[in-house]
Amino acid sequence: MWVECFENDARFDGADVEVLVEQLLSHVRASHNVSYSDDEVRTWARNFADASLREDGAVVRLPSVGPVEVHPVTEDRIDDWLMLFDRDAFPDNPDWGSCYCLHPHTGDAPERPWRDVRAEMIERLRAGATVGYLAYAGGRVVGWVNASFRSSYAKYDGIDPEGPAPDTVVGVSCFVIAPPYRRHGVSSALLDHVVADGATRGARYVEGYPRRTPDGKDSTSFCGPRSMFEGREFTPVEEHEWFTLVRRPV
């Protein structure tokens, strides 16, 4: 297993997770002035180290993927959702292996053990507090989109205060695509399904939050490119520091 500093300036490999955790903490304290407590750094390092073993899916992009099917995450598809997040979503980026797409709902919060985050998201999916869709190719789950109502997102609380009520707007907060299936239109297929399904969910609008200054990296493209939204008649509503709010009626 291994752990890498969040500033990408040091990496530690080994078989003992607690040794790696303390090596990382020592490096952070010696090299970086950050506000995270020791416990937060340790939790982050343990999450990273666990993910470096657990996320063992393929990383090489496929030349083609064939037809893509999209289905909502119902109770009988939670195991598929777990397969994606437990193993296939982030083998190239263990730093995100503990996210399980909870961040839009909580906003910036202290680092938690990944098993706790995983358990909370399972309960949210079962209760309908988080709504999302899975993409399949060749019978395998390859992607996810979080398309919950904006009223459930602490991360986007307070945006466009003069706009539509948050519980009438589906917010497309995150796309997660397994590395071999990226740049094959999987996110587009997911977005198309979210838009098509909006009216049946009682939504009036669908909106997205594409990054304002994309850098071309997969790890920072999780909100989807602005061009993908514009190609589906989403229009800009507000500019924020890191993202543009775009929206269309269902």
User: What was the pLDDT predicted at 163?
Assistant: 97
pLDDT at 221 over 90: no
User: What was the pLDDT predicted at 143?
Assistant: 98
Q: Which CATH superfamily is domain 68-249 in?
A: Gcn5-related N-acetyltransferase (GNAT) (3.40.630.30)
Mean per-residue pLDDT over the chain, rounded: 96
User: What was the pLDDT predicted at 158?
Assistant: 93
User: What was the pLDDT predicted at 162?
Assistant: 96
pLDDT at 216 over 90: no
* Residue-wise burial string across 47-86, b where 16 or more C-beta atoms lie within 10 A, e elsewhere: bbbbbbebbebeeeebeebeebebeebeeebeeebbbbbb
In angstroms, the first-to-last Cα distance of the chain is 46
pLDDT in tens, 94-147: 999 999 999 999 998 899 999 999 999 999 999 999 999 999 999 999 999 999
pLDDT at 234 over 70: yes
Q: For 17-43, what is the mean pLDDT? A: 96
- The beta strands (E) that lie in 17-95 are given as 68-72
Which residues have C-beta within 8 Å of that of residue 227, sequence separation ≥ 6? none
Which residues have C-beta within 8 Å of that of residue 150, sequence separation ≥ 6? 156, 159, 166, 167, 169, 170, 171, 207
Sequence spans of domains, the chain: 2-54, 68-249
- Work out the burial of residue 25: count CB atoms within 10 Å of its CB; fewer than 13 is exposed, 13-18 middle, 19 or more buried: middle
What is the pLDDT confidence band of residue 225, given thresholds at 50, 70 and 90? very high
User: What was the pLDDT predicted at 214?
Assistant: 72
User: What was the pLDDT predicted at 24?
Assistant: 97
pLDDT at 215 over 80: no
Q: For 158-186, what is the mean pLDDT? A: 97
Give the C-alpha separation, 226 to 213, whole Å.
10
pLDDT at 219 over 90: no
Q: For 229-239, what is the mean pLDDT? A: 97
Give the C-alpha separation, 65 to 186, whole Å.
9
User: What was the pLDDT predicted at 78?
Assistant: 98
Whole-structure pTM value: 0.95
What is the pLDDT confidence band of residue 218, given thresholds at 50, 70 and 90? confident
Q: For 79-105, what is the mean pLDDT? A: 97
- DSSP, collapsed to helix, strand or coil, labels residue 2 as strand
pLDDT in tens, 1-25: 999 999 999 999 999 999 999 999 9
Which residues have C-beta within 8 Å of that of residue 142, sequence separation ≥ 6? 65, 68, 84, 88, 135, 136, 177, 178, 180, 181, 186
Which residues have C-beta within 8 Å of that of residue 90, sequence separation ≥ 6? 51, 55, 96, 97
Q: For 226-243, what is the mean pLDDT? A: 96
